[in-house]
């Protein structure tokens, strides 16, 4: 149960830096000294120095500490965190379990703020990425000409791994700056190129600033959907670039939504959906093991680590999956129950897009449109190609696309 609205906060979230207790504000210092229990990482507790309350290290996972913390509701409790507790910190965990009036927060400068201050970089113009227990693929969407990236490291080996990651993408000219133990007596700032990165004895507590070159332009993935087909590993089962751009537009993605990509093949639709925003999620449903593995490689290479792969055949694969906001069906239209299962899974306002290139699949979409409504579009592309000493149009196989927004339930 939550505390009464007029009850004073009983839990204090205190951000602490490498300067330790000396860097705390008077109010944060008072919260630390008044607490009957102080929870923090081993480093945080050491930085805080002496205090009268009991000590408890954050367990792994840190959620395991919550029963002990909540058991002390009404007592004075202090939770220590690095820098700003609500910037890739423990603040979100606390706020999800306590009412706002139950806690107060005393943030310190985040590692990102300290890094920007040391470098003279405008924080609002930097891409901020955490690699703390997260995939390096998170860097890919931020890789743009001349971009500045601040990446929170996992350990001492992260800077060199970033260097190898960038060098492998043809960006060896990138400048890497390691900022170690920021804000404390051990602070150190060094730099090197990704190519030939040779910084040794990096402190495990570090952040990497990345300054990317402006060329060659082809090394930077475009921001819009419709990536070049050559960027995907495929066995030929792929929604081609122009059709993919039209399909993603038809799916009408919004931030934080979930897509089911049914019969995913190379996973190109799921990857493009997820690349639009790091909060977007996608489930790529693919029965073949080799294709499922290929989807995983494409998702990592193109910066979409939030694509989940389900190796099963639709519609049986739908069981137990979270409700989608949108469903794309590019393969398996002829499988009994696939369209019905997808429609049943969508909530009101959910979108379904299905592409057909065979007459049989097109007939199925015509019948579905007659039964459910929606819009049918005939899509065809042609590219100029040589014909003897001249040029002519080489058309691609035309596709029929059915788009449906599931209506609100009638009352």
How many CB atoms neighbour CB 389 within 10 A?
5
Give the separation between CA 304 and CA 280, rounded to whole angstroms.
9
Q: Which residues contact 373 (CB under 8 A, 6 or more apart)?
A: 404
Work out the percent of the chain whose per-residue pLDDT is above 70: 98
**Facing residues of 152 across strands?**
130, 207
Alpha helices in 276-358 (DSSP H): 289-301, 338-345
144-165 pLDDT per residue, tens:
999 999 999 999 999 999 999 9
209 plus 234 within the same structural domain: no
Q: Contact, 13 vs 103, CB < 8 A?
A: yes
Q: pLDDT band for position 198 (50/70/90)?
A: very high
302 falls within a domain: yes
Q: Contact, 282 vs 259, CB < 8 A?
A: yes
38 falls within a domain: yes
Of 115, 116, 206, nearest to 158 by C-alpha is 206
* Residues 354-362, mean pLDDT to the nearest whole number: 93
48-93 pLDDT per residue, tens:
999 999 999 999 999 999 999 999 998 999 999 999 999 988 999 9
312-351 pLDDT per residue, tens:
999 999 999 999 999 999 877 878 899 999 999 999 999 9
How many structural domains does the chain have? 3
211-244 pLDDT per residue, tens:
999 999 889 989 999 999 999 999 999 999 999 9
With 60 as the cut, is the pLDDT of residue 411 above it? no
83-111 pLDDT per residue, tens:
999 998 899 999 999 999 999 999 999 99
Of 264, 251, 378, nearest to 327 by C-alpha is 251
255 plus 368 within the same structural domain: yes
Rg (CA), the chain: 26
5 falls within a domain: no
Q: What is the pLDDT, as a whole number, of residue 409? A: 67
366 falls within a domain: yes
Q: Contact, 90 vs 62, CB < 8 A?
A: yes
294 falls within a domain: yes
With 80 as the cut, is the pLDDT of residue 382 above it? yes
263 plus 397 within the same structural domain: yes
Sign of CA dihedral 285, 266, 330, 357: negative
Q: What is the pLDDT, as a whole number, of residue 79? A: 97
Q: Which residues contact 78 (CB under 8 A, 6 or more apart)?
A: 11, 12, 14, 31, 32, 34, 35, 37, 38, 39, 53
Q: What is the pLDDT, as a whole number, of residue 331? A: 77
91 plus 152 within the same structural domain: no
Q: Is 115 exposed, middle or buried (0-12, 13-18, 19+ CB in 10 A)?
A: buried
Q: What is the pLDDT, as a whole number, of residue 410? A: 52
Give the separation between CA 29 and CA 201, rounded to whole angstroms.
33
Domain stop point among 63, 80, 108:
108
With 60 as the cut, is the pLDDT of residue 37 above it? yes
Domain stop point among 187, 219, 251:
219
373 falls within a domain: yes
Domain with 270, as residue range(s), is 229-405
CA dihedral 117, 119, 125, 129 (to 10 degrees): -90
396 falls within a domain: yes
Q: Contact, 114 vs 179, CB < 8 A?
A: yes
Cα-to-chain-centroid distance, residue 298:
15
292 plus 349 within the same structural domain: yes
With 80 as the cut, is the pLDDT of residue 34 above it? yes
Give the separation between CA 202 and CA 212, rounded to whole angstroms.
21
Q: What is the pLDDT, as a whole number, of residue 319? A: 95
Specify the pairing of strand 375-379 against strand 399-405: antiparallel
Q: Contact, 65 vs 56, CB < 8 A?
A: yes
Alpha-carbon separation of residue 39 from 69, 91, 95, 104 (angstroms): 9, 13, 16, 15
68 plus 215 within the same structural domain: no
Q: What is the pLDDT, as a whole number, of residue 5? A: 42
Residue that the structure tokens 């060329």 belong to = 215
- Under DSSP, the state recorded for 324 is P
Sign of CA dihedral 42, 47, 49, 51: negative
How many CB atoms neighbour CB 195 within 10 A?
13
How many CB atoms neighbour CB 346 within 10 A?
19
Compute the mean pLDDT over every residue in the chain, rounded to the nearest whole number.
93
Q: pLDDT band for position 7 (50/70/90)?
A: low
Q: Is 250 exposed, middle or buried (0-12, 13-18, 19+ CB in 10 A)?
A: buried
6 falls within a domain: no
User: Which helix H or strand E contains 251, and what residues bound it?
Assistant: helix 241-251
For residue 293, give the 3-state DSSP assignment: helix
Alpha-carbon separation of residue 19 from 13, 50, 111 (angstroms): 17, 14, 13
Give the separation between CA 391 and CA 387, rounded to whole angstroms.
5
Give the separation between CA 172 and CA 379, rounded to whole angstroms.
41
400 plus 277 within the same structural domain: yes
Domain stop point among 108, 130, 156:
108
């Amino acid at each position: 149960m939550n505390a009464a609205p007029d009850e004073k906060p009983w839990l204090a979230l205190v951000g602490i830096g490498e300067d330790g207790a000396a860097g705390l504000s008077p109010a944060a210092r008072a919260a630390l000294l008044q607490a009957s229990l102080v929870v923090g990482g081993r480093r945080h507790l050491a930085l805080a120095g002496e205090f009268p309350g009991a000590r408890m290290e954050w367990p792994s996972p840190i959620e395991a500490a919550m029963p002990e913390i909540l058991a002390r509701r009404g007592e004075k409790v202090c939770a220590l965190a690095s820098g700003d507790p609500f910037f890739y910190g423990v603040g979100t965990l606390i706020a999800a379990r306590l009412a706002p009036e139950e806690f107060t927060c005393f943030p310190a400068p985040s590692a990102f703020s300290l890094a920007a201050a040391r470098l003279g970089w405008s924080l609002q113009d930097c891409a901020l990425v955490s690699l703390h227990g997260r995939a390096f693929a998170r860097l890919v969407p931020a890789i743009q000409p001349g971009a500045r990236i601040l990446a929170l490291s996992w350990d001492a080996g992260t800077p060199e791994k970033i260097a190898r990651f960038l060098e492998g993408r043809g960006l060896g000219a990138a400048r890497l700056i390691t900022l170690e133990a920021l804000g404390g007596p051990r602070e150190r700032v060094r730099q090197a190129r990704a190519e030939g990165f040779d910084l040794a004895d990096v402190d495990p507590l570090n952040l990497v600033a990345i300054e990317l070159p402006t060329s060659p332009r082809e090394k930077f993935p475009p921001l819009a959907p419709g990536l070049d087909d050559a960027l995907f590993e495929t066995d030929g089962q792929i929604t081609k670039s122009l059709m993919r751009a039209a399909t993603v537009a038809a799916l009408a993605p919004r931030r934080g939504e979930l897509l089911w990509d049914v019969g995913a093949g190379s996973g190109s639709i799921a990857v493009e959906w997820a690349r639009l925003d790091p909060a977007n999620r996608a489930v790529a449903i693919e029965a073949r093991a080799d294709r499922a593995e290929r989807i995983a490689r494409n998702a990592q290479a193109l910066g979409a680590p939030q694509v989940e792969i389900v190796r099963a055949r639709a519609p049986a694969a739908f069981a137990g999956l979270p409700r989608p906001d949108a469903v794309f069906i590019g393969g398996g239209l002829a499988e009994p129950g696939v369209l019905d299962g997808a429609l049943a899974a969508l909530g009101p306002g959910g979108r379904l897009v299905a592409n057909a290139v065979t007459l049989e699949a097109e007939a199925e979409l015509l019948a579905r449109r007659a039964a459910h409504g929606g819009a049918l579009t005939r899509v065809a592309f042609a590219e100029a190609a040589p014909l003897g000493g001249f040029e002519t149009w080489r058309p691609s196989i035309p596709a029929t696309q059915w788009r449906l927004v599931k209506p609100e339930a009638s009352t």
